Structure 1
């Protein structure tokens, strides 16, 4: 399971002209699900994402996680993160989970985030989404479990 996290000042997802999720300060989480990912991996990734210290403290050091910084989370499914890009000029997607498995793990990950009490917004799984963000920093990290 892969999360590409971006520290944002604001982010939103629009589907068919309607905003499905929007946050102010927080993390945009692009989530990729690979074959073999399970609930244990989803929980571990949730711990990493929500615990990762990428927000500045009063001394300007990245010492605060999203909850400590008073931020929110916007989770967007992103199957292309599971792409194999090692060969050729076209990505392969054989590492990605089957759509029904990916959707199940995506929803489970979102539920795991919500159960912590942190404000969690989402896109719509497998929809044609337009993602808008104002990357703060820019600060972007690739997390994988």
Structure 2
């Protein structure tokens, strides 16, 4: 699971002309569910959101209190695009959990949030709908969270990206998807021939 946590003065979700949910001071959390997520990922994200210390105390000491400590509200918004992978300039969402599964998973996540906190403090958008999300970010403060399973998965991906970047730097090849493969190969071949002469 992935969560983008934003500290807000206020936030709301609308679908068309209908106001679905709104909160005052608290957190607006975008939630992404991957096809590999398990209840352990959910448990981790719930715990982190509720205990994340992003609020000041009464003496204005920073990073001192959680949303629970302050008795603030949380607006959760499902966001499958958090698992986008770029293919050139077009996002691909194959890493996101399928819609039917992810809806059940997301609804269970909301239940766990309500069990761990005060049910009336947890607000929601509308799953699968085209929403307009309005926030007044406080700070701004935006924190990205990722469950341990996803952290482990991202390590090989980061290593692969680092190797690709190193190769491109060494060879001078461009990584733009729009450039034809033949053009890339010609560029590399030309550079290699220049270094050998």
TM-score calculated relative to the size of structure 1 = 0.94
> Higher helix share goes to which structure?
2
Q: How far apart, CA to CA, are the structure 2 residues paired with 1:53 and 1:94? A: 33
| Higher-RCO chain (CA-CA 8 Å, sequence separation at least 6) | 1
Q: Over residues 33-65 of structure 1, what are the superposed CA-to-partner deviations in whole Å (9 max), with x where a residue is unaligned? A: 001112221111000111111111123311111
Which residue is 1:140 aligned to? Answer: 142
What secondary structure sits across from 2:102 in the alignment?
helix
Unaligned runs of 5+ residues in structure 1 are none
**Runs of 4+ off more than 4 Å:** none
Unaligned runs of 5+ residues in structure 2 are 148-197
> Higher strand share goes to which structure?
1
Q: How far apart, CA to CA, are the structure 1 residues paired with 2:11 and 2:60? A: 26
Higher Rg: 2
Give aligned pairs, total.
144
What secondary structure sits across from 2:67 in the alignment?
coil
Q: Over residues 98-141 of structure 1, what are the superposed CA-to-partner deviations in whole Å (9 max), with x where a residue is unaligned? A: 01111111111111111123310000100011101100000001
The 5 A counterparts of 1:97-136 are: 97-118=97-118, 119-136=121-138
